[in-house]
A and B are shown apart, each in its own frame.
Chain A
Amino acid sequence: MIHRNHEVFTQATDQDYKGTSAEAIQYHYDDGNDFFKVWLDNTMAYTCARWEKGEGLEALETAQIRKLDFHINQAKAKGAKRVLDIGCGWGSLLRRLVEVHGVEKAIGITLSKAQTEQVKSFRNPRIEVYLENWADHHPEELYDAILGIEVLEHVVQVGLPETEKVKAYRNFFEHCHKWLKPGGWMSLQTIVYDNMRPENFNEFLTNEVFPESDHATLAELVKARERLFEIVAIRNDRQDYELTCKAWLSRLKKNRTAAINVVGSEVVARYEKYLKFSMIGFHTGSINLARIAMRRIDKPCK
Chain B
Amino acid sequence: MSNNPKTAADIQKWLVSYLAVSLEIEPEGVDRTIPFENYGLDSLKALALTGDLEDWLGYEVDPTLMYDSHTIETLAQHLLEEDE
Interface residue B43 (Cβ < 8 Å from any Cβ of A): yes
Interface residue B83 (Cβ < 8 Å from any Cβ of A): no
Interface residue B39 (Cβ < 8 Å from any Cβ of A): no
**Judging by beta carbons under 8 Å apart, are B63 and A276 in contact?**
yes
**Judging by beta carbons under 8 Å apart, are B67 and A276 in contact?**
no
> For residue A280, which residues in chain B have a CB less than 8 angstroms away from its CB?
43, 46-47, 63-64, 67
> For residue A284, which residues in chain B have a CB less than 8 angstroms away from its CB?
64, 67
Interface residue A126 (Cβ < 8 Å from any Cβ of B): no
> For residue A273, which residues in chain B have a CB less than 8 angstroms away from its CB?
47
CA distance A279 to B66 in the complex (A): 12
Interface size class of A (residues with CB under 8 A): 10 to 19
**Judging by beta carbons under 8 Å apart, are B67 and A277 in contact?**
no
Interface residue A250 (Cβ < 8 Å from any Cβ of B): yes
A254 to B: closest C-beta gap in Å = 10
CA distance A149 to B43 in the complex (A): 27
**Judging by beta carbons under 8 Å apart, are A279 and B64 in contact?**
yes
Mark A264-296 against chain B: 1 for CB-CB distance below 8 A, else 0: 000000000100110110011000000000000
Mostly helix, strand, loop or mixed at chain A's interface? helix
> For residue A253, which residues in chain B have a CB less than 8 angstroms away from its CB?
60
Mark B28-46 against chain A: 1 for CB-CB distance below 8 A, else 0: 0000000000000001101
**Judging by beta carbons under 8 Å apart, are B63 and A279 in contact?**
yes
CA distance A246 to B51 in the complex (A): 14
CA distance A277 to B43 in the complex (A): 7
CA distance A271 to B64 in the complex (A): 16
Mark A236-280 against chain B: 1 for CB-CB distance below 8 A, else 0: 000000100010001001000000000000000000010011011
A193 to B: closest C-beta gap in Å = 14
CA distance A284 to B66 in the complex (A): 10
Interface residues of B (CB under 8 A from A): 43-44, 46-47, 50-51, 60, 62-64, 67
Q: Can you list 21 contacts pairing A with B, beta carbon distance less than 8 Å?
A: A207-B44, A242-B64, A246-B62, A253-B60, A273-B47, A276-B50, A276-B51, A276-B63, A277-B43, A277-B47, A277-B63, A279-B62, A280-B43, A280-B46, A280-B47, A280-B63, A280-B64, A280-B67, A283-B64, A283-B67, A284-B64
8 smallest A-B Cβ distances: which pairs? Answer: A276-B63, A283-B64, A284-B67, A280-B43, A279-B63, A276-B47, A279-B64, A280-B64
